[in-house]
Amino acid sequence: MSHLSERPEKPVVGVAMPHESAFLHVTGTALYTDDLVYRTRDVLHAYPVQVMKPRGRITALRTEPALAVPGVVRVLTGADVPGVNDAGMKHDEPLFPDEVMFYGHAVAWVLGETLEAARLGAEAVEVELDEQPAVITLREAIEAESFHGARPVMTTGDVDAGFADSAHVFSGEFQFSDQEHFYLETHAALAYIDEAEQVFIQSSTQHPSETQEIVAHVLGLHSHEVTVQCLRMGGGFGGKEMQPHGFAAVAALGAKLTGRPVRVRLNRTQDLTMSGKRHGFHAEWRIGFDADGRIQALDATLTADGGWSLDLSEPVTARALCHIDNTYWIPNARVAGRIAKTNKVSNTAFRGFGGPQGMLVIEDILGRCAPLLGLDPAELRERNFYRPGRGQTTPYGQLVSQPERISAVWRQVEDNGGLAERRREIAAFNAAHPNTKRALAITGIKFGISFNLTAFNQAGALVLIYKDGSVLINHGGTEMGQGLHTKMLQVAATTLGIPLHKVRLAPTRTDKVPNTSATAASSGADLNGGAVKNACEQLRARLVQVAASQLGSNASDVRIVEGVARTLGSDQELAWDDLVRTAYFQRVQLSASGYYRTEGLHWDAKTFRGSPFKYFSYGAAAAEVEVDGFTGAYRIRRVDIVHDVGDSLSPMIDIGQVEGGFVQGAGWLTLEDMRWDVSDGPNRGRLLTQAASTYKLPSFSEMPEEFNVTLMENATEEGAVYGSKAVGEPPLMLAFCVREALRQAAAAFGPSGISVDLAAPATPEAVYWAIQAARQAEAPGTGAAVNGHAANGRIPIDTRALSGV
Amino acid sequence: MVTARITVNGKEASISPVAPHTTALDFLRERGLTGTKEGCAEGECGACSVLVARPGVNKPTDWVAVNACLVPVAALDGQEVVTSEGLATPGEPGTASTLHPVQEEMAVRGGSQCGYCTPGFICSMAAEYYRPGRCAHADSEGDAEHGPNGFDLHALSGNLCRCTGYRPIRDAAYAVGDPAEDDPLARRREQAPPAPVATEYTQDGRTFLRKDTLAETLRVLSERPDAVLVAGSTDWGVEVNIRSRRADCVVALDRLSELRELSVESDHIEIGAALTLTEIERRLDGEVPLLAELFPQFASRLIRNSATLGGNLGTGSPIGDSPPVLLALEASVVLAHADGEREVPLADYFTGYRQSVRRPGELIRAVRVPLPLSRVTAFHKIAKRRFDDISSVAVAFALDIEDGIVRKARIGLGGVAATPIRARAAEEALEGRPWSAETTEAAAALLQAEGTPMSDHRASAGYRSAMLGQSLLKLYAQTTEAVSS
Ligand SMILES: Cc1cc2nc3c(=O)[nH]c(=O)nc-3n(C[C@H](O)[C@H](O)[C@H](O)COP(=O)(O)OP(=O)(O)OC[C@H]3O[C@@H](n4cnc5c(N)ncnc54)[C@H](O)[C@@H]3O)c2cc1C
Ligand code: FES
Ligand code: FES
């Protein structure tokens, strides 16, 4: 066992406990960024001037009418920016643009004494535009060759030879939807200026260091003049990794110019129309199988809808490519990625970060091809798993570690869920019910953990022990509900050997831990946990020395367990508080900064090869659905999941992540239906689903009626803190089984053995059209023998209406 | 100016100087009660849920959860509100407060992750916790939508959580027991509810007005034809928040006793236009099966706790869910004016997109449903999400089938035209014919051709049309399956 993964006696990690803020959550006393406004005097409210055209040069921007509105204090425009007018890391995101790049682009911000005054002021600002033609859909972008950023190609083996050796070759196209984060707390920032003209910003951000960096360059300041604090977020999901910076910069600029605190808080429609989403993708593919259904070759082009600026589209696309294999060994592959430049919001990180998109492509391919190969979809999937003991590598050249876990979790789901028996029950049910069909599908996941970019895989922490024995930890990670802080408290208590109540956690601030990475890529606990553990180890080593001298033994014989220092072979004890006080009087340093970097990673973005991931997370899930043949409406009757989180740091938190991720994934794949105005009308480019009333998230009715989540046991991960694995993103992708079950249920309305094309999201309407297509389908004569392009045959659905292309 | 006062967590406060359109949510937050959150400002997410003491259905007072983002604070004049902060019992200085049982279950079962939705869930859950008659028999196992403790999951249908996936929240809901004897909110239910008070709250030339009687209200309407009526404010609140509409004069109807009566006569049932849908649902208790089928599909419990039939008909939305049902029931509306009352069949009420025969100064006092009711009824709402979604199309059926022959057919449709409509051609194709696959298929083809459905973000025109026909085929399948089993 590695030093990093080894757990001491009576560890606090591994104990199931609720979220550290649960008490504050349920009593409404937990504070979020915008709650601070009501505890702050003289706050000005900022309101954006959004231009409702998809593209055009600004020829006039008149702010005087706004200043005439009572209560309006100032209008912020590009002319006010003392530093660099840019809100991104790619320098393609002007904070105050000269050119409107998407419908709803904010070109100025109005500051008012009240929100109402600022709103009326924003309405009064006059903007004139020289309108330009806009590219809205992915298809338009592909046709116009409107791309930006890198165009990576991932190759392995010999694709042409692979196809030549294939008994069956299919090809197809697939376009699927973007997804709104819909964190319940919208973007918010509150900025103040202190007496030394330094800027302090409360921001709902997953990446305080980058928020700080961008605020500094917008204001023309150095980083040490800007402090960013994030108390907690009301959800982030990736949507607050890059997107908060500009809003924080607007608040900071306003505060700088007026000397008063300035609040930016987007209402839901502003948030929906101004901030980026999960990238929708288009995929074109060709796949070859041998006679037994083993994948021989894959040739695919993935096009991500990047929106107007690059933001994180390049790493998202890279991750999509790196996950197109999912759990399947693809010996020969050529997969190209490109980023469409469209006149829409700039798409960004979202739980899974391209991984789900890449994996969806292969799962869709297998779901469509299985009937054509004459195989049960579960069988087809299993046949293609990475196998242990063969040294198989991913298409980008990384050895697949722990491949045995792919089938281990799968088999456990089969057993726990009693799938064999239920498949028989379902067949009987379907035979007896012409208008209602059920189906059961199982899918698995493999997800690479670490930032693709090696430099981001580092973290810092600052741990303070006070004379009274209480401990305060600071680390660079942010809390957005994922339970990171709970885990960090558990890690600190475990490393120091003290009870949990002795440890408290301070809000994340850039003046405590500098140069932090985003709390993203599921890596929050791995990285910050490593850093907290490191700081605590330094402190423990010092305290053990003190204890040894007090107890008259060797330091190597001293253990601190549950707040008491003891030495081997003696019943002498020293309580933690006494130990700390003694250390203080002996002038032993009681604070330490910890540091961690993930070892053994390398990645060459140019050749698209390397080992970018520390390890892989695995999981499998089975969903049973029931579909109404009259309407396409459905219910998720039961879901069984087995997921690999290594040895869990905090089981209740991890199960919560698995369940929440699953339902969010099911939302993306079945319900959440982002629609844009793609017409040539006056509102071209407008987001049609720009409110909670039109963009529907999963509610109680989408929760599986029976929902069983099991964490894989004895799953120690040597390469991560206390043997755990990351959990934030991977479970989202467990939801593929829901869509595959819907596909199979729709197929059950038709003759057996047909391939069903299903839109994503698979809304009731999409399922209804799939059912209609299945009902009209001819029974396949020799489906498995078709060596052609059967899967490319478009089912007669109005895909324009369905996917907004 | 008569100033309006409201009791929050046991403390009384004046609402001035806020503007009359200020929502209860903004008012609470400005007073530092920031536990109540804004997630959408349009009644969809429930993050703003608070408890209000209202006239009870089975006890003098009910604790009802409502969306604070929709209700103007002035509408709560004289009322009692409890927020998530007010549910915990404060400890002695220096000690932690004691969690409310609902808070306790949510906290220990992992019901919160980011916690932003949590205070709203707490309030919605507390309302159900205090619902008289919730508690089921000790041996009850519950069903897909009820816990063994009688907890109705629909109580949470108006609350969204983006983090948890809901399972721990359901577990918490199903774990709460009965309120203790000395639970102050449980005891509050035994006392009379806060009495309606007349309100005249004016700021910056804008007024929120509540009169004591219908007569006075009608007089105001005659004098101020520009006045906006509000009942539950579930539509008006959205107008204010999302479309930034402001009115110089808002007149509240929701507490007028003349609009809050429900009576069952020999030949009709009269339902007051300002009763909330929850009140109607609980008081009718299944008496009108078609309405009983409608309510659980209408918005969420949070919205139904405020929404009224008067408001649903008053907006005249072509996708409102009650009109198709009321059309199938052959209901009429009773319109009141300072000059007198008249009764108009609902089928004649709508005249165009969001337009009706209602004259200036007139309001809907009640809805009348004639008796006897048709025996075979069904309401099919087609939407993306099962709980709390707006209809793409809605179809209501009321059929009299005797000896296998359809004697009478009434079909109401929503979402297919500028107004809710009756499907007359399909009705005719059914009437006098045997209730058979052949008849229903022929009628379904006609039904499918009704109206001029549009394609929008909710559904394509093709799907909308198809669903009209499918709904009849489904009803036929359901009736025949029910007979055969
Ligand atoms: C989240 C959400 C979900 C919803 N879901 C649904 C749904 O599933 N189905 C559905 O049909 N609707 C739905 N609605 C719309 C709304 O809830 C209903 O239309 C409701 O019945 C309105 O009643 P109210 O009392 O709240 O109306 P208010 O907002 O108080 O009033 C609305 C309008 O009606 C007029 N009005 C009110 N009472 C009268 C009266 N007595 N006489 C004359 N005019 C009057 C007012 O002038 C006002 O313009 C939803 C709304 C929200 C916010
Ligand atoms: S804020 Fe979403 S329902 Fe009120
Ligand atoms: S806990 Fe985050 S929205 Fe519910």
Write out pLDDT tens, residues A175-195: 999 999 999 999 999 999 998
Predicted confidence band of residue B388 (pLDDT cuts 50, 70, 90):
confident
Compute the Cα dihedral for B296, B299, B303, B308 and give only its sign: negative
Give the ligand 2 atom nearest the CA of B37: 1
Predicted confidence band of residue A799 (pLDDT cuts 50, 70, 90):
very low
Which pLDDT tens digit goes with each residue over A422-472? 999 999 999 999 999 999 999 999 999 999 889 999 999 999 999 999 999
Residues B331 and B443 in one domain: no
Using CA coordinates, name the residue in chain B closest to A654.
B110
The pair of structure tokens assigned to A348 is: 């960004």
| Catalytic (active site) residue A624 | no
Q: By the CB < 8 Å criterion, does A27 face chain B?
A: yes
Classify residue A424 as exposed, middle or buried by CB count within 10 Å of its CB (0-12, 13-18, 19+). exposed
Containing structural domain, residue B474: 376-485
Q: Cα separation of A487 and A493, whole Å?
A: 10
Residues B154 and B254 in one domain: no
Asked if residue A134 has pLDDT above 90, the reply is yes
Kind of pairing between the strands at B228-230 and B249-252: parallel
Residues B284 and B367 in one domain: yes
Q: What is the mean pLDDT of residues A683-697?
A: 96
SS3 A462: strand
CB of A115 closer than 8 Å to CB of B26: no
Distance B119 CA to ligand 3 centre (A): 10
Closest C-alpha among B83, B170, B124 to residue B278: B124
Which pLDDT tens digit goes with each residue over B62-87? 999 999 999 999 999 999 999 999 99
- pLDDT at residue A800, as a whole number: 31
Query: Chain B partners of A696 at a C-beta cutoff of 8 Å?
Result: 384-385, 389
Residues B367 and B466 in one domain: no
Q: Cα separation of B174 and B154, whole Å?
A: 12
Indicate yes or no: CB of B168 within 8 angstroms of CB of A691. no
- pLDDT at residue B139, as a whole number: 56
Distance B141 CA to ligand 2 centre (A): 32
Picking from A30, A635, A675, the nearest residue to B115 by CB comes out as A30
Closest C-alpha among B141, B138, B147, B154 to residue B173: B147
Q: Cα separation of A203 and A500, whole Å?
A: 28
Min mean pLDDT across A796-805, B49-58, B108-117, B225-234 is at A796-805
How many Cα atoms are found within 13 Å in the side-chain-facing hemisphere of A238? 29
What CATH number does the domain containing B49 carry? 3.10.20.30
Residue B419 belongs to some domain of the structure: yes
- pLDDT at residue A149, as a whole number: 97
Query: Chain B partners of A628 at a C-beta cutoff of 8 Å?
Result: 474
Taking only residues 657 to 686 of chain A, the set having a beta carbon closer than 8 angstroms to any beta carbon of chain B reads 659-664, 671, 673, 675
Query: Chain A partners of B40 at a C-beta cutoff of 8 Å?
Result: 268, 691-693
Q: By the CB < 8 Å criterion, does A235 face chain B?
A: yes
Matching residue, tokens 């800027």: A199
What CATH number does the domain containing B368 carry? 3.30.465.10
Residue B171 belongs to some domain of the structure: yes
Asked if residue B359 has pLDDT above 70, the reply is yes
Residues B307 and B342 in one domain: yes
Q: Cα separation of B132 and A479, whole Å?
A: 39
Using the 3D structure, point to which of B319, B353, B373 is the last residue of a domain. B373
Asked if residue B483 has pLDDT above 60, the reply is no
| Pocket of ligand 1 contains residue B469 by CB under 6 Å | no
Residue B263 belongs to some domain of the structure: yes
Residue type, B82: V
- pLDDT at residue A195, as a whole number: 86
Q: By the CB < 8 Å criterion, does B166 face chain A?
A: yes
In this structure, which ligand is nearest to the CA of B25?
Answer: 2
Question: What domains are defined for chain A?
Answer: 44-133+187-265 (3.90.1170.50), 281-451+606-779+791-803 (3.30.365.10), 458-597 (3.30.365.10)
Residues B303 and B439 in one domain: no
Picking from A39, A236, A798, the nearest residue to B460 by CB comes out as A798
Q: Cα separation of A435 and A438, whole Å?
A: 10
DSSP structural state of residue A617: E
Using the 3D structure, point to which of B373, B400, B418 is the last residue of a domain. B373
In this structure, which ligand is nearest to the CA of B255?
Answer: 1
- pLDDT at residue A370, as a whole number: 97
| Pocket of ligand 1 contains residue B235 by CB under 6 Å | yes
CB of B82 closer than 8 Å to CB of B89: no
Angle, helix A484-496 to helix A524-551, in steps of 10 degrees: 20
Asked if residue A382 has pLDDT above 70, the reply is yes
Matching residue, tokens 């991977």: A730
Residues B241 and B280 in one domain: yes
Q: Cα separation of A509 and A516, whole Å?
A: 10
Kind of pairing between the strands at B376-382 and B340-345: unpaired
Please state, in angstroms and as integers, the Cα–Cα distance from residue B33 to each residue in A35, A221, A686, B377, following that order. Answer: 9, 36, 36, 46
| Pocket of ligand 1 contains residue B363 by CB under 6 Å | yes
Q: Total structural domains in chain B?
A: 3
Residue B224 belongs to some domain of the structure: yes
Binding pocket residue ranges, ligand 3, CB within 6 Å: A 184, 235, 481; B 112-118, 161-164
Residue B93 belongs to some domain of the structure: yes
* First-last CA distance in chain B: 66
Q: Cα separation of B455 and A688, whole Å?
A: 12
Using the 3D structure, point to which of B344, B373, B402 is the last residue of a domain. B373
Best residue among B26, B52, B66, B67 to mutate for probing ligand 2, ranked by most atoms within 8 Å of CB? B67
- pLDDT at residue A171, as a whole number: 97
Indicate yes or no: CB of A26 within 8 angstroms of CB of B42. no
SS3 B468: helix
Give the ligand 1 atom nearest the CA of B306: 26
State the Cα torsion A102-A104-A109-A114 to the nearest 10°.
Answer: -170
Residue B196 belongs to some domain of the structure: no
For A286, the enclosing helix (H) or strand (E) is strand A281-289
Predicted confidence band of residue A292 (pLDDT cuts 50, 70, 90):
very high
Best residue among B106, B123, B162 to mutate for probing ligand 3, ranked by most atoms within 8 Å of CB? B162
Give the ligand 1 atom nearest the CA of A692: 1
Compute the Cα dihedral for A684, A685, A688, A691 and give only its sign: negative
Residues B225 and B324 in one domain: yes
CB of A316 closer than 8 Å to CB of A280: no
Query: Chain B partners of A769 at a C-beta cutoff of 8 Å?
Result: 463
- pLDDT at residue B144, as a whole number: 80
List, in order, residues 6 or more apart from A229 with CB less than 8 Å away: A200, A201, A202, A203, A208, A507, A508, A509, A510
List beta partners, residue A676. Answer: A687
- pLDDT at residue B136, as a whole number: 60
Classify residue B328 as exposed, middle or buried by CB count within 10 Å of its CB (0-12, 13-18, 19+). buried
- Active-site option among A180, A729, A740, A765: A729
Distance A673 CA to ligand 3 centre (A): 21
What CATH number does the domain containing B447 carry? 3.30.390.50
DSSP structural state of residue A731: G
Classify residue B372 as exposed, middle or buried by CB count within 10 Å of its CB (0-12, 13-18, 19+). exposed
Predicted confidence band of residue B2 (pLDDT cuts 50, 70, 90):
low
Asked if residue A601 has pLDDT above 70, the reply is yes
List, in order, residues 6 or more apart from B261 with CB less than 8 Å away: B270, B272, B275, B366
DSSP structural state of residue A489: H
Residues B340 and B482 in one domain: no
Residue B309 belongs to some domain of the structure: yes
Residue B74 belongs to some domain of the structure: yes
On the question of a cis peptide bond just before residue A331, with omega within 30 degrees of 0, the verdict is no
- pLDDT at residue B482, as a whole number: 59
For atom 4 of ligand 3, which residue has the closest CA? Answer: B161
CB of B374 closer than 8 Å to CB of B398: yes
Residues B406 and B465 in one domain: yes
Query: Chain A partners of B85 at a C-beta cutoff of 8 Å?
Result: 27-29
Asked if residue A602 has pLDDT above 60, the reply is yes
- pLDDT at residue B137, as a whole number: 53
Taking only residues 266 to 305 of chain B, the set having a beta carbon closer than 8 angstroms to any beta carbon of chain A reads none
SS3 B83: coil
Instruction: Note the ipTM here.
Output: 0.96
Distance A735 CA to ligand 2 centre (A): 28
H runs (alpha helix) in A180-243: 208-219
Residues B387 and B361 in one domain: no
Following DSSP, what letter does each residue of A362-387 receive, concatenated? HHHHHHHHHHHTT--HHHHHHHTB--
List beta partners, residue B334. Answer: B343, B366
In this structure, which ligand is nearest to the CA of B119?
Answer: 3
Distance A732 CA to ligand 3 centre (A): 16
Predicted confidence band of residue A797 (pLDDT cuts 50, 70, 90):
very low
Q: What is the mean pLDDT of residues A388-413?
A: 97
The pair of structure tokens assigned to B249 is: 């004069």
Residues B354 and B388 in one domain: no
Binding pocket residue ranges, ligand 2, CB within 6 Å: B 38-41, 43-48, 67, 69
